[in-house]
Structure 1
Amino acid sequence: MTQTPTARPEARPAETWPVIAITMGDASGIGPEIILKALARPEVYAICRPLVVGDAGRLREVAGLIGASLTVRAVEEPADGGFACGTVDVVDLGLIPPGHPFGKVLPLSGEAAFRYIERATRLVEAGEADAICTAPLSKEALHAAGHKYPGHTELLATLTNTPEVSMMLVAPKLRVIHVTTHIGLVDAIRKIEPGLVFRVIERGRATLVKAGIADPRIGVCGINPHAGENGLFGHGEEEEKIIPAVAKCREQGWAVEGPLPADTLFFRATRGDFDLVVAMYHDQGHGPVKVMGLEAGVNITIGLPVVRTSVDHGTAFDIAGKGIADDGSLLEALKQAVELAPRRG
C-alpha cells in the first residue's frame, strides 16, 4: 500500500512551517493530557508550530498532575507564539475554573469544547493558522450545553457553511472514507444513493492525490453480505445505489473497483491492493480501522474549506486525570495535519 508522507522537509525555515491549532476538547477528558504529552516531544516542533486553543489554567493543572516539566504560556493570538519545545503556547479562552472535575459529563465542558472549535475555525479562516487538530470531545456534554451536533464533523460543517463533508479514518495499512456516519443503519441505507457515493469517492481521491498518490486505487464496499451476490442478498441496493457511481468513476479514468464484499475488501486493502476503502456506513468502516490500531488512528474531515484532523478515540473519562493516556493517535493526527496544510512561503 502506498504510504502518505508523514513529515515535511525540515530544511525549510521555521517561519514557513504550518501553524496547527490544537483544540483542547473536553476538559474533563484526556484531551489536555495527551496534548501536553505530545507537545513535550521535540519532533513535533521539527515539523510544525503547534498552538493550543483551550484553557491555560486547565493545562497547568494537568501538567502538575502528570509531572510534565512544561511551561504553559497564554497568548492573545498566533502571532504571539514562541513555538519552542518546552513551552506550550495557548490561545486561552479562560472557560474552565480550577478544580473542574475529571471523568464526568458536564455542560461547561461541552460549551468550552464548542468554543475551542469555533475559535480555531476562525483562526484558520483568517489565515492565522493553517490547520485544526482536535482532541476528543464528549457528544453528550456538547448536547448538554445546547449544541446539538453528532460530533466534530457536523459541527465544523456548520461553522464553515459546508453542505456536505466526509469522514476519513487512517490507520496503519488502511484508509477508509465513509458514505454515511452518525445515523442509524436503516437511515444510512435509505440515504445512500449514486450521487452521494460518487461525491464521497471524488473527495477521498482528491485528498490522496494532494497527499502525493498520483492515481489512488479505490475499493468500494457493498451494503449487503457478499455485496448482494447478484441479488441473492438484499433488495438490489448495490445495483441501485452503488454500481452507477462506480461506473461514473471509471468513466473519469479513476482506478475504482466495486461494489465488493466488505470482509474481503478490507483484507485486500491491508495487503496493499487498495489505497482507500469506501465504507457505506459507520461501523462497516470503523471496526476494521480500530482493529488495525486504535492508538495510531487518525480521523480526517474531508470537504471542509479548512484542514481538520483528529484522534480516533474518545474522551476516555475512565482514565482522565490519572496520567496514563496514550498520545500516539494525537501525534499521528498532527503529522496528517502538517501533510494536508497549505504551505507557507
Structure 2
Amino acid sequence: MRAVQVVTTTGPADVVVNDVPEPEAGPDEVLVEVHRVGVSFPDLLLSRGEYQLRPEPPFSLGVDVAGTVLSAPDGSGLAVGQRVAGVAGHGNAQERVALPVGSVFALPDEVTFDQGAALPMNYLTAEFALHQRAGLQPGETVLVHGAAGGLGTATVQVAVGMGARVVAVVGSEAKRETATAAGAHDVVLRDGFKDAVRELTGGRGVDVVADIVGGDAFTDSLRSLAPLGRLLVLGFAAGGEIPQVKVNRLLLNNVDVRGVGWGAYTFVAPGYMQEQWQRLLPMVAAGAVRPPVGRVYELDAFGQALTDLAERRAQGKSVVRVRD
C-alpha cells in the first residue's frame, strides 16, 4: 500500500510516497481504511527531525485520519463500515492504519471525511487547553493568537462552544475572514493587538490568552490579561527564540502562564480522549464546532502541503485525499 514517508529528516521537499507492508491490527486495535489525512504542524517538525517524538527513518507521517472501519475488537462499540476519525503521533498518512481503540472516534453523520480529518488533534488539544488547563467558564473572554490556522480556528470554535467571548488575532487582513467564519466575535491584527484588546474590553483585558504563535507578542499577551487571567502556551508557530517570562509580572498582576501538552497528558490518562470526544459532540450538534477545511491535496502533494504550512499560507485545516 502507499504511504507518505520521511526517509531523511531534511524537510518537506524530501517527503516521498513509498510502498509499505499492510498493517495488521492487534487485539486492542481498529483497522481503518483511510479516506483523508489531516496536515499538522507536528508533521512539519517530524519531516525536519525537530519534533519531541523522533522515530527512526523511514517512517510514515500523518497525525489525524478519517476513514471507515475494516475490523474492530469485540466490545469496542465500532462496526465494520462505520465512519471514524482517529489520531496518532505519526503513521496515519497511508492507505490503511491500525489504531488503538482509545484513539478512534465515531463520526457524526453531519461530519464529512474532510472535516473528520480536521477534528482529532486540533480540537482535542483546544478542548484540553480550555477545559482542563484554563478552567474556562461561560462568559469569560478568550484571545486566540494564530486564529486563522488549524489549531487557531479549533480553539476559536471550542471557546465559543463553551460559552466564551472570543477575540481572534490574525497576521493579515486576508486571514480576517477565516477567523470570522470560524465564529470569533471580534478579529484584530497582530500588529497593535494589545491596544485593540484593551479597547474591546473596556481596559479590563481578557481572561484567557491561547498562544499558538509565540514570538515577540508574548509580553503583550501577558499585559492583555485581566486579573486572574491565564496565558496558555500551545506552540511556537512563529519560530525563532522561545519567549521568556519574568515571574514578577505573574506575582504583581495575579496572572498565570500554563503549558498545554495534550499529547503528553493523554499518555498518562487512559480513556481521556474518549471523554473529550463526548464533550465535543454537543458542540458539533449545536453547530459551534464545524472544522473549516482549507486546501485539499492529493497524496503525492503531502510535501507541498507541509511547505505551505511552513510558509504560513495555510488557512483552516489542510487535508490530503487518499481515496473518495
Query: Which protein has the bigger strand share?
Result: 2
TM over 0.5, shorter chain: no
Query: Which protein has the bigger helix share?
Result: 1
TM-score, with normalisation over the residues of structure 1? 0.30
Q: Which has the larger radius of gyration?
A: 1
Whose relative contact order is higher, 1 or 2, with alpha carbons under 8 Å and at least 6 apart?
Answer: 1
